[in-house]
Amino acid sequence: MPRLLVNQQALRSAVQPAASGYVCLACRAQSQRHFSVSRRSRKEQLPFFKRLTKSIFGDEKSREASKKREDATRKRAEETVATGSVDYEQWVDEKGREWQRAAVVDPSINKDYKQSSDWAGLELIGGEQWVRERRDGGEQYIGFNPRRKTELTNEEWKNLLRHVIVEVMVAKQASLDLDTLTADREVDLDHWARTVGVTFEQKDGKLSMNFIKPGDRDLIVQALGLGVPTIVESEEATRAVDEAGEVVGFATDDIAASLEDKQPAAQDVADMAALDAQAKQRMHNIKIATQVTSGGSKHDLPAYAFMDPDIKLTIMKRVFQLTSHRLPDAVVSTASTPIDLYHAYITKPAPKKLAQTKELNKVKVSVPNVTVYSKRRTPIDKEKDVGRWKVIEEELLRRNLPVTGSRYQGAKTTTPLA
Amino acid sequence: MATKRALAPARTFLSGFRTAQTLPLTRSMATEAPLPQSILAEAHSAAHLTSTPTTPILHDTFTKPPPTAQSSRPTNPFLTTTTITTHAFPSLEPLAFHAYPSTHLLLPLRRDLLHRAVIFEGDATRQGTASTKYRSEVHGSNRKVRPQKGTGSARLGDKKSPMLRGGGVAFGPKPRDFATELNRKVYDRAMRTAISYRYRKGELFVLEDEAEIYDVGRESLQRYTKDFLRWQGWGHAGGRTLFVTRERREEFEWALSRETMGREARVLECEWVDVKDVLEMGRVVVERRALDWLFREHESDLPKEGRLMRALRDLSRRDAGSLEGEKLVQGQV
């Protein structure tokens, strides 16, 4: 009779109508094991005693295989000593698959290796989280806006809006695509100084820009990375403002020192921590630029209505890209001038908690015997104020009692069960 | 729980709501319009038996009177527009402005309508399967437990009495339908009021294209989506987000169906969106096509001139006709 696979046996028992129609786990487990249904010939069979000694002490073949395994392990341990590294090593098996396997370390051979007595600092292998992280492809999300909002003062907002408006209007007058303004650019203080120092003038219903120096417009366009455009001269009058230099007062050496030299490009970032660092650096640079390029109070925003919706969209887009501040659509819809946008940006959102309102903040200062809390005060908070909570919590843990809430099946607990 | 409006019982939305009926054109109507002379002549000649055979009336035409000044309704002078910014997904780069009429996005807050709509949805969602047994349904004999008189104890009938342990429930719940009715126009206005409320609070974001994540492997999709929500502050810490899509978005829905992602955000197709869903989460992110679909589905209370498609057409005609040098009116783009 040919050797039958147990799976076929199990299949047959599954197909045949059983009395109860149920196969227990033990039977299923047994059916998974391979067994033979054919009898061996008497010539192949060893005597009983020899079979017994073979199963207890092993035969020559098994002893040789065991020795071969030990030699291979010892050889790998000696290689580890030779290379001096206990990191993962690359290994290709006979089927051509690449594996990363741990090095074999034998403390009797490798005297420099000190075994750890606990698991502190060691790499944890296994578990669902570990498997998930290994399978992860590493794609990183990068948003259009920075991850964190840049908080600016009113003056800094004014400078930022002036900078953006000038960039947009220069590009618009040069009939260039406004989408290119939102290309990734580094913060250039000279460029910021040129844009923030511009004064606006309204004449006959048209808005014109007065640059600090005659060639500033072309430099601005070059900084935008668009090259020198063909300027339509009839739409504006450009003239050098002699007194602009004393208004925009800063020292380039000091500013250059405040900025770090290294500004990594977005493509070089490998993980979220590096992205965060880059975003933080950019926020810092923008804040520095808005601070040091602040002009006098006479450099106000133009009170000129947006004729082209693309201009308003580009201004909002650029501000969003630089500061991550987003205006509600209802506010954007009603804002028709840069001053409206400025007021919208400097308006702080309403506080979500009563304790954060202006009135209760005054109470905190003016009424010293009243304390305002933003959260509900629980008995645990009162114990923490006194300093007794640590003792209570330790005792509860020691007695394996729930620290907060009750202990039932499926309860959320912050304490480990004993 | 979301309910698909198409599956709601018809009486819920259409009861008390007169369906459009086309009145049959009868010759007995006093206000009947006069027939054209040629057809009258044919009819008259056909009535005489001795007349020569005439060509049969193969068609009955009626010349529509030209529109007069009184037939067109005057435009609403109080109707304004408001703009919404559409964004790319998932970068959230602002892409364009789109105008919508104030009847859809600037409705005043009507808490009573919102309350009625939410209660109506909750009632329709109720399973209504609570059931108890009356004394007649409890298993047991009807034998009188003890004699009426003479025992010194209170009189008792059978042991299934609600006053006894093991007896039935006196007026307990029975499976029933808790659905109530709400006028369709009221519900539609409530939906638009909810969307307007979110818009006015700055918690409505519109996406230009599909809310779908491409070029990200399945193994990284959950982590990528979580990073995206955290980057924008739209996850659990930001009050959670509802994404409304026009069609099923396989990858994005799969990512949000993973463990613990439900506490970060939720995605629904527009047909399954209720008023409660619009009001529940910290913000609503909706595809523009889905938003247009929601408006088209929920504008039965508006006259035909005020409905979205016609209003957008009128807006585009008005924008095309306006000159570039004109000063803009506040509220318009």
Q: What is B251-309 written as a DSSP string? A: HHHHHHTSTTGGGTEEEEEGGG--HHHHHHSSEEEEEHHHHHHHHHHT-TTS-GGGSHH
Strands (E), B191-258: 204-207, 241-245
Is A333 in contact with B90 (Cβ distance < 8 A)?
A: no
Q: Choose from A3-12, A149-158, A256-265, B204-213 the range with maximum mean pLDDT.
A: B204-213
The answer on A392 and A341 residing in a single domain is no
Query: Does the residue A219 lie in any domain?
Result: yes
Statement to judge: residues A289 and A363 lie in one domain: no
Q: Is B319 on the interface with A (CB under 8 A)?
A: no
> Does A51 reside within a domain?
no
From chain A, pick out residues whose CB is under 8 angstroms from the CB of B96: 313
Domain edge (last residue) among A310, A325, A346:
A346
Whether residue A158 sits in one domain with residue A278? yes
Kindly tell me the burial class for residue A292, based on how many C-beta atoms sit within 10 Å of its own C-beta (0-12, 13-18, 19 or more): buried
| Chain A nearest-CA residue for B213 | A141
- How close, in Å, is residue A277 to chain B by CA atoms? 14
A313/B216 touch (CB, cutoff 8 Å), yes or no: no
HSE toward the beta carbon, residue B108, CA cutoff 13 A: 2
Counted domains in chain A: 3
Q: Quote the percentage of chain B above a pLDDT of 90.
A: 66
- Which range marks the domain in which residue A379 is found? 355-399
Query: Span A55-83, mean pLDDT?
Result: 91
Of A84, A385, A23, A388, give the one whose Cα is nearest residue A9: A23
* Same domain for A328 and A195: yes
| Domain assignment present for A370 | yes
pLDDT in tens, B85-134: 999 999 999 999 999 999 999 999 999 999 999 999 999 999 999 999 99
Mutate to test the interface with B, among A141, A148, A310 (most CBs of B within 10 A): A141
- Does residue A169 lie in a domain region? yes
Q: Within a domain: residue A247?
A: no
- Model pTM? 0.70
Q: Are residues A221 and A362 in the same domain?
A: no
DSSP string, A312-375: HHHHHHHHHHHH-----HHHHHH--SHHHHHHHHHSPPPPSSGGGSHHHHHHHHH-TT----SS
pLDDT (tens digit per residue) in B35-66: 444 444 444 444 444 545 555 555 556 665 55
Cα–Cα distance measured from residue A299 to residue A40, given in angstroms and rounded to the nearest whole number = 104
The helix/strand/coil state of A81 is: helix
Residues A164 and A105 in one domain: no
Contact A377, A371 (CB under 8 A): no
| Range name among A42-56, A329-343, B287-301 with the lowest pLDDT average | A42-56
Q: Is the pLDDT of residue A114 over 60?
A: yes
Contact B316/A at CB under 8 A: no
Residue with tokens 């008189």: B149
Q: What is the pLDDT of residue B294?
A: 97
Residue A215 and residue A281 in one domain: yes
For chain A, give the mean pLDDT. Answer: 79
Chain B contacts in chain A segment 367-386 (CB below 8 A)? none
The domains located in chain B, with CATH, are 81-113+181-321 (3.40.1370.10), 128-177 (no CATH)
Judgement on whether residues A309 and A196 belong to the same structural domain of the protein: yes
Asked if the C-beta of A138 comes within 8 angstroms of chain B's C-beta atoms, the answer is: yes
Residue A189 sits in the same domain as residue A318: yes
CB contact (8 A) between residue A317 and residue B82: no
How many CB pairs (< 8 A) connect A and B? 87
Q: Based on the domain organization, do A71 and A188 belong to the same domain?
A: no
Do the domain assignments include residue A124?
no
- Judge if A377 and A309 occupy the same domain: no
Chain B residues with CB under 8 Å of A333 CB are 82-84, 331, 333
Q: What is the pLDDT of residues B234-280, one digit of tens each?
A: 999 999 999 999 999 999 999 999 988 999 999 999 999 999 999 99
| Same domain for A309 and A278 | yes
CA distance B245 to B266: 11
Q: Least CA distance to A337: which residue of chain B?
A: B330
